[in-house]
Amino acid sequence: MRMTDIAFTTTDWSEITPTVHLGEIGEALWRTQHFGDIRVRRVSYSPGYSADHWCNKGHVLYCLSGELVTDLEDGRRFVLTPGMSYQVADDVDAHRSFTAVGAELLIID
């Protein structure tokens, strides 16, 4: 990823109006910023959230709080807790996530 044409910018995430994205169960609140081709999101998953689709988009995902369980289509499972991240490229390792307790994430894609 090459980051170009982005001036130094700070973000107060509390000032960004969230958009609601429903899962199979629960909801995700996205606070989103775009910097050229780069999307940066602070995402809050409600307790019990379960994604409604397999995702093929590449991400860098950092767990701020809570716990996120991510299943890969090939059967592998990963658990993220605060301070952990995962990284995956576009169209590699389709994944979907759920959380029993809720989670706050920073996602860059």
With bands split at pLDDT 50, 70 and 90, how would you rate the model's confidence at 41?
A: very high
Q: Which residues contact 19 (CB under 8 A, 6 or more apart)?
A: 29, 30, 32
Confidence at residue 36, expressed as pLDDT on a 0 to 100 scale: 87
Residue 28's H or E segment, with its range, is: strand 27-35
Band (59; pLDDT cuts 50, 70, 90): very high
Rounded mean pLDDT of 31-37? 93
pLDDT band at 56 (very low <50, low <70, confident <90, very high): very high
Does residue 42 belong to any structural domain of this protein? yes
Per-residue confidence band for 4, with pLDDT thresholds at 50, 70 and 90: confident
Q: Is residue 70 part of a domain?
A: yes
Residue 13 belongs to a domain = no
CATH assignment of the domain containing 98:
2.60.120.10
Number of domains, the chain: 1
Does 95 map to a domain? yes
- Give residue 43's domain range: 19-108
